[in-house]
Structure 1
Amino acid sequence: MTSAATAAKRHTVLDSPYGPLTLVADDGVLCGLYMTEQRHRPPEESFGVGDDTLFAETEEQLKAYFAGELKAFTLELRLHGTPFQRGVWEQLARIPYGETRSYGDLADALGNPKASRAVGLANGKNPVGIIVPCHRVVGSDGSLTGYGGGLERKQRLLDFERGTALF
Protein backbone atom coordinates (compact mmCIF):
# COMPACT_ATOMS: atom_id res chain seq x y z
CA MET A 1 0.00 0.00 0.00
CA THR A 2 1.39 3.38 -0.99
CA SER A 3 0.85 6.25 1.41
CA ALA A 4 0.18 9.80 0.28
CA ALA A 5 3.61 10.75 1.65
CA THR A 6 5.42 8.35 -0.67
CA ALA A 7 3.09 8.61 -3.68
CA ALA A 8 4.77 11.82 -4.86
CA LYS A 9 8.33 10.42 -4.52
CA ARG A 10 10.05 9.42 -7.73
CA HIS A 11 13.54 8.12 -8.47
CA THR A 12 16.02 7.41 -11.20
CA VAL A 13 19.47 5.85 -11.26
CA LEU A 14 22.39 7.77 -12.74
CA ASP A 15 25.77 6.25 -13.57
CA SER A 16 28.75 8.08 -12.11
CA PRO A 17 32.50 7.57 -11.69
CA TYR A 18 31.66 6.49 -8.11
CA GLY A 19 29.05 3.91 -9.03
CA PRO A 20 25.32 4.17 -9.57
CA LEU A 21 23.60 7.08 -7.81
CA THR A 22 19.91 6.84 -6.95
CA LEU A 23 18.27 10.26 -7.19
CA VAL A 24 14.98 10.78 -5.34
CA ALA A 25 12.53 13.66 -5.78
CA ASP A 26 9.58 14.60 -3.59
CA ASP A 27 6.94 16.46 -5.63
CA GLY A 28 9.62 17.26 -8.22
CA VAL A 29 12.22 18.57 -5.73
CA LEU A 30 15.42 16.63 -5.05
CA CYS A 31 15.33 15.06 -1.58
CA GLY A 32 17.78 12.18 -1.91
CA LEU A 33 21.00 11.06 -3.57
CA TYR A 34 22.12 7.62 -2.49
CA MET A 35 25.11 5.48 -3.41
CA THR A 36 24.97 1.72 -3.61
CA GLU A 37 25.23 -0.01 -0.24
CA GLN A 38 24.78 3.33 1.57
CA ARG A 39 23.59 3.33 5.15
CA HIS A 40 20.22 5.02 5.75
CA ARG A 41 19.18 4.39 2.13
CA PRO A 42 15.39 4.08 1.82
CA PRO A 43 14.02 0.98 0.09
CA GLU A 44 13.53 1.65 -3.62
CA GLU A 45 10.03 0.22 -3.50
CA SER A 46 9.05 3.22 -1.35
CA PHE A 47 8.94 5.45 -4.44
CA GLY A 48 8.07 5.23 -8.13
CA VAL A 49 10.19 5.70 -11.23
CA GLY A 50 10.57 9.30 -12.43
CA ASP A 51 10.33 10.54 -15.97
CA ASP A 52 13.38 11.66 -17.97
CA THR A 53 12.83 15.38 -17.38
CA LEU A 54 12.28 15.24 -13.62
CA PHE A 55 15.98 14.90 -12.82
CA ALA A 56 17.47 16.72 -15.82
CA GLU A 57 18.94 19.67 -13.88
CA THR A 58 20.35 17.41 -11.16
CA GLU A 59 21.93 15.13 -13.76
CA GLU A 60 23.38 18.11 -15.63
CA GLN A 61 24.97 19.57 -12.49
CA LEU A 62 26.32 16.18 -11.35
CA LYS A 63 27.89 15.58 -14.77
CA ALA A 64 29.51 19.03 -14.63
CA TYR A 65 30.78 18.30 -11.10
CA PHE A 66 32.28 14.95 -12.17
CA ALA A 67 33.89 16.68 -15.17
CA GLY A 68 35.57 19.12 -12.77
CA GLU A 69 33.57 22.06 -14.17
CA LEU A 70 31.23 22.68 -11.20
CA LYS A 71 32.41 23.52 -7.68
CA ALA A 72 29.07 24.36 -6.02
CA PHE A 73 25.59 22.98 -6.69
CA THR A 74 22.63 25.32 -7.15
CA LEU A 75 19.79 22.83 -6.93
CA GLU A 76 16.56 23.25 -5.02
CA LEU A 77 16.52 20.68 -2.22
CA ARG A 78 13.84 19.33 0.09
CA LEU A 79 15.76 17.85 3.02
CA HIS A 80 13.73 15.90 5.55
CA GLY A 81 15.32 15.89 8.99
CA THR A 82 15.25 17.40 12.45
CA PRO A 83 16.13 21.08 12.91
CA PHE A 84 19.55 20.02 14.26
CA GLN A 85 20.21 17.76 11.27
CA ARG A 86 19.19 20.48 8.83
CA GLY A 87 21.54 22.89 10.65
CA VAL A 88 24.41 20.43 10.24
CA TRP A 89 23.57 19.97 6.56
CA GLU A 90 23.56 23.75 6.07
CA GLN A 91 27.07 23.84 7.57
CA LEU A 92 28.18 21.00 5.28
CA ALA A 93 27.03 22.99 2.26
CA ARG A 94 29.34 25.83 3.35
CA ILE A 95 32.52 23.72 3.24
CA PRO A 96 34.39 24.92 0.15
CA TYR A 97 35.16 22.54 -2.69
CA GLY A 98 38.44 20.72 -2.09
CA GLU A 99 38.57 21.57 1.63
CA THR A 100 37.67 19.62 4.75
CA ARG A 101 36.35 20.39 8.20
CA SER A 102 36.26 18.29 11.34
CA TYR A 103 33.16 17.31 13.26
CA GLY A 104 34.38 19.64 16.00
CA ASP A 105 34.66 22.52 13.52
CA LEU A 106 31.04 21.98 12.53
CA ALA A 107 29.92 21.75 16.16
CA ASP A 108 31.72 25.06 16.85
CA ALA A 109 30.05 26.67 13.82
CA LEU A 110 26.69 25.56 15.22
CA GLY A 111 27.53 27.22 18.55
CA ASN A 112 27.69 23.91 20.42
CA PRO A 113 31.34 22.81 20.71
CA LYS A 114 30.44 19.66 22.65
CA ALA A 115 28.14 18.36 19.90
CA SER A 116 30.72 16.72 17.64
CA ARG A 117 29.26 13.26 18.17
CA ALA A 118 25.75 14.53 17.34
CA VAL A 119 27.19 16.31 14.30
CA GLY A 120 28.66 12.99 13.18
CA LEU A 121 25.29 11.27 13.51
CA ALA A 122 23.54 14.05 11.57
CA ASN A 123 26.29 13.96 8.96
CA GLY A 124 25.66 10.24 8.50
CA LYS A 125 21.95 10.88 7.86
CA ASN A 126 22.64 13.43 5.11
CA PRO A 127 20.14 12.44 2.39
CA VAL A 128 21.94 14.11 -0.53
CA GLY A 129 25.58 13.07 -0.39
CA ILE A 130 27.97 14.77 -2.83
CA ILE A 131 25.55 17.70 -3.34
CA VAL A 132 25.60 18.42 0.40
CA PRO A 133 29.25 17.41 0.78
CA CYS A 134 29.40 15.20 3.86
CA HIS A 135 32.51 13.59 2.34
CA ARG A 136 34.40 16.79 3.28
CA VAL A 137 34.15 16.02 7.02
CA VAL A 138 37.14 14.32 8.64
CA GLY A 139 38.34 13.48 12.13
CA SER A 140 40.00 16.15 14.28
CA ASP A 141 43.41 14.75 13.30
CA GLY A 142 42.55 14.88 9.59
CA SER A 143 41.91 11.14 9.35
CA LEU A 144 39.08 9.66 7.34
CA THR A 145 36.17 8.64 9.49
CA GLY A 146 32.81 7.07 8.68
CA TYR A 147 31.08 7.72 5.40
CA GLY A 148 27.73 6.28 4.33
CA GLY A 149 29.08 5.57 0.86
CA GLY A 150 32.19 3.84 2.19
CA LEU A 151 35.63 5.19 3.10
CA GLU A 152 37.11 4.28 -0.28
CA ARG A 153 34.53 6.48 -2.04
CA LYS A 154 35.13 9.25 0.47
CA GLN A 155 38.87 9.17 -0.24
CA ARG A 156 38.25 9.13 -3.99
CA LEU A 157 35.90 12.14 -3.77
CA LEU A 158 38.39 14.09 -1.66
CA ASP A 159 41.25 13.20 -4.02
CA PHE A 160 39.11 14.22 -6.99
CA GLU A 161 38.30 17.62 -5.47
CA ARG A 162 41.95 18.19 -4.55
CA GLY A 163 43.03 17.31 -8.09
CA THR A 164 44.96 14.23 -6.98
CA ALA A 165 42.53 11.53 -8.15
CA LEU A 166 43.90 8.55 -10.02
CA PHE A 167 41.28 7.16 -12.40
Structure 2
Amino acid sequence: MFAVIFDKNTTDENTAKCVEYYIDELGCDANIVPSFTNDDFNLLDAAYENNKTKTFDLLLNKDITPDKWLTAIIATEFLVFFRENSDGIKDKKASPELLEFIKTLKYKEFKEEKFKLIKKLLDLGQDPYYYGYLRVILKIVGDEKDLDNLLKNETQKELAQ
Protein backbone atom coordinates (compact mmCIF):
# COMPACT_ATOMS: atom_id res chain seq x y z
CA MET A 1 0.00 0.00 0.00
CA PHE A 2 2.88 2.35 0.70
CA ALA A 3 4.26 1.82 -2.78
CA VAL A 4 1.06 2.98 -4.45
CA ILE A 5 0.83 6.02 -2.15
CA PHE A 6 4.41 7.04 -2.88
CA ASP A 7 4.05 6.44 -6.62
CA LYS A 8 3.98 9.88 -8.27
CA ASN A 9 2.60 8.38 -11.49
CA THR A 10 -0.51 6.99 -9.82
CA THR A 11 -3.33 9.50 -9.47
CA ASP A 12 -4.90 10.14 -6.10
CA GLU A 13 -8.16 8.59 -7.32
CA ASN A 14 -6.42 5.37 -8.39
CA THR A 15 -4.37 5.32 -5.20
CA ALA A 16 -7.55 5.54 -3.12
CA LYS A 17 -9.14 2.71 -5.13
CA CYS A 18 -6.07 0.51 -4.67
CA VAL A 19 -5.79 1.20 -0.95
CA GLU A 20 -9.51 0.57 -0.47
CA TYR A 21 -9.18 -2.74 -2.33
CA TYR A 22 -6.20 -3.80 -0.18
CA ILE A 23 -8.07 -2.98 3.03
CA ASP A 24 -11.61 -4.08 2.18
CA GLU A 25 -11.04 -7.00 -0.17
CA LEU A 26 -7.67 -8.38 0.90
CA GLY A 27 -8.01 -7.57 4.61
CA CYS A 28 -4.81 -5.55 4.92
CA ASP A 29 -4.33 -3.56 8.13
CA ALA A 30 -4.86 0.18 7.62
CA ASN A 31 -2.61 0.86 10.63
CA ILE A 32 0.37 -0.99 9.17
CA VAL A 33 3.78 0.48 9.94
CA PRO A 34 6.43 -0.30 7.33
CA SER A 35 9.67 -2.05 8.20
CA PHE A 36 11.69 0.71 6.49
CA THR A 37 10.95 3.16 9.31
CA ASN A 38 11.81 3.03 12.99
CA ASP A 39 8.82 5.10 14.05
CA ASP A 40 5.06 4.97 13.76
CA PHE A 41 4.94 6.48 10.25
CA ASN A 42 1.75 5.06 8.75
CA LEU A 43 -0.39 5.15 5.60
CA LEU A 44 -2.22 8.28 6.74
CA ASP A 45 1.07 10.14 7.12
CA ALA A 46 2.24 8.98 3.70
CA ALA A 47 -1.01 10.02 2.00
CA TYR A 48 -0.91 13.45 3.62
CA GLU A 49 2.76 14.01 2.86
CA ASN A 50 2.23 13.00 -0.78
CA ASN A 51 -0.79 15.30 -1.12
CA LYS A 52 -3.15 12.44 -1.92
CA THR A 53 -6.24 13.97 -0.34
CA LYS A 54 -8.79 11.40 -1.52
CA THR A 55 -6.59 8.62 -0.17
CA PHE A 56 -6.11 10.55 3.07
CA ASP A 57 -9.88 11.00 3.50
CA LEU A 58 -10.49 7.34 2.68
CA LEU A 59 -8.00 6.28 5.35
CA LEU A 60 -9.61 8.54 7.93
CA ASN A 61 -12.79 6.54 7.37
CA LYS A 62 -11.00 3.20 7.81
CA ASP A 63 -10.33 3.45 11.55
CA ILE A 64 -6.71 4.41 11.05
CA THR A 65 -5.10 5.99 14.09
CA PRO A 66 -3.68 9.49 13.50
CA ASP A 67 -0.26 9.58 15.13
CA LYS A 68 2.55 11.94 16.09
CA TRP A 69 4.17 12.03 12.64
CA LEU A 70 1.21 13.86 11.19
CA THR A 71 1.51 16.58 13.84
CA ALA A 72 5.17 17.06 12.98
CA ILE A 73 4.30 17.36 9.28
CA ILE A 74 1.62 19.97 10.06
CA ALA A 75 3.96 21.95 12.31
CA THR A 76 6.62 21.91 9.61
CA GLU A 77 4.07 23.21 7.12
CA PHE A 78 3.65 26.27 9.34
CA LEU A 79 7.41 26.85 9.35
CA VAL A 80 7.62 26.49 5.58
CA PHE A 81 4.60 28.76 5.08
CA PHE A 82 6.20 31.41 7.31
CA ARG A 83 9.49 31.13 5.40
CA GLU A 84 7.78 31.38 1.99
CA ASN A 85 5.80 34.48 2.99
CA SER A 86 8.20 36.38 5.26
CA ASP A 87 11.61 36.20 6.87
CA GLY A 88 10.29 33.38 9.06
CA ILE A 89 11.61 32.38 12.46
CA LYS A 90 15.30 32.79 13.20
CA ASP A 91 17.05 32.01 16.47
CA LYS A 92 13.70 31.23 18.11
CA LYS A 93 12.41 34.71 17.30
CA ALA A 94 9.85 35.91 14.80
CA SER A 95 11.00 38.56 12.38
CA PRO A 96 9.06 41.85 12.32
CA GLU A 97 7.94 40.93 8.81
CA LEU A 98 6.51 37.64 10.09
CA LEU A 99 4.69 39.37 12.93
CA GLU A 100 2.99 41.55 10.33
CA PHE A 101 2.31 38.61 8.04
CA ILE A 102 0.32 36.68 10.66
CA LYS A 103 -2.21 39.51 10.60
CA THR A 104 -3.01 38.90 6.93
CA LEU A 105 -5.98 37.08 5.44
CA LYS A 106 -3.59 34.69 3.68
CA TYR A 107 -2.24 33.48 7.02
CA LYS A 108 -5.67 33.34 8.63
CA GLU A 109 -7.02 31.17 5.80
CA PHE A 110 -3.99 28.85 5.98
CA LYS A 111 -4.35 28.53 9.75
CA GLU A 112 -8.10 27.91 9.51
CA GLU A 113 -7.55 25.10 7.00
CA LYS A 114 -4.91 23.44 9.18
CA PHE A 115 -6.99 23.84 12.35
CA LYS A 116 -9.98 22.15 10.68
CA LEU A 117 -7.69 19.24 9.91
CA ILE A 118 -6.33 19.21 13.48
CA LYS A 119 -9.86 19.22 14.90
CA LYS A 120 -10.79 16.30 12.65
CA LEU A 121 -7.70 14.35 13.73
CA LEU A 122 -8.34 15.04 17.39
CA ASP A 123 -11.96 13.92 16.99
CA LEU A 124 -10.60 10.64 15.57
CA GLY A 125 -8.54 10.05 18.69
CA GLN A 126 -5.21 11.71 18.03
CA ASP A 127 -3.37 12.58 21.24
CA PRO A 128 -3.41 16.38 21.86
CA TYR A 129 0.01 16.00 23.48
CA TYR A 130 1.60 15.58 20.04
CA TYR A 131 0.87 19.21 19.17
CA GLY A 132 3.56 20.55 21.53
CA TYR A 133 5.93 21.32 18.63
CA LEU A 134 3.27 23.31 16.79
CA ARG A 135 2.42 25.14 20.01
CA VAL A 136 6.07 26.23 20.40
CA ILE A 137 6.09 27.55 16.82
CA LEU A 138 2.85 29.47 17.29
CA LYS A 139 4.00 30.83 20.66
CA ILE A 140 7.05 32.36 18.98
CA VAL A 141 4.73 34.41 16.75
CA GLY A 142 2.28 35.09 19.60
CA ASP A 143 -0.56 33.09 18.02
CA GLU A 144 -0.90 30.00 20.22
CA LYS A 145 -4.24 30.81 21.92
CA ASP A 146 -6.47 29.22 19.28
CA LEU A 147 -4.44 26.02 19.37
CA ASP A 148 -4.50 26.01 23.18
CA ASN A 149 -8.28 26.35 23.15
CA LEU A 150 -8.69 23.58 20.59
CA LEU A 151 -6.42 21.22 22.51
CA LYS A 152 -8.04 22.12 25.84
CA ASN A 153 -11.50 21.36 24.46
CA GLU A 154 -10.34 18.00 23.13
CA THR A 155 -8.62 17.11 26.43
CA GLN A 156 -11.80 18.00 28.32
CA LYS A 157 -13.82 15.73 25.98
CA GLU A 158 -11.42 12.88 26.73
CA LEU A 159 -11.76 13.39 30.49
CA ALA A 160 -15.57 13.44 30.25
CA GLN A 161 -15.62 10.04 28.55
Q: Whose helix fraction is larger, Structure 1's or Structure 2's?
A: 2
Q: Whose strand fraction is larger, Structure 1's or Structure 2's?
A: 1
The two structures have a TM-score, normalised by structure 2, of: 0.31
Q: Please identify the structure whose Cα radius of gyration is greater.
A: 2
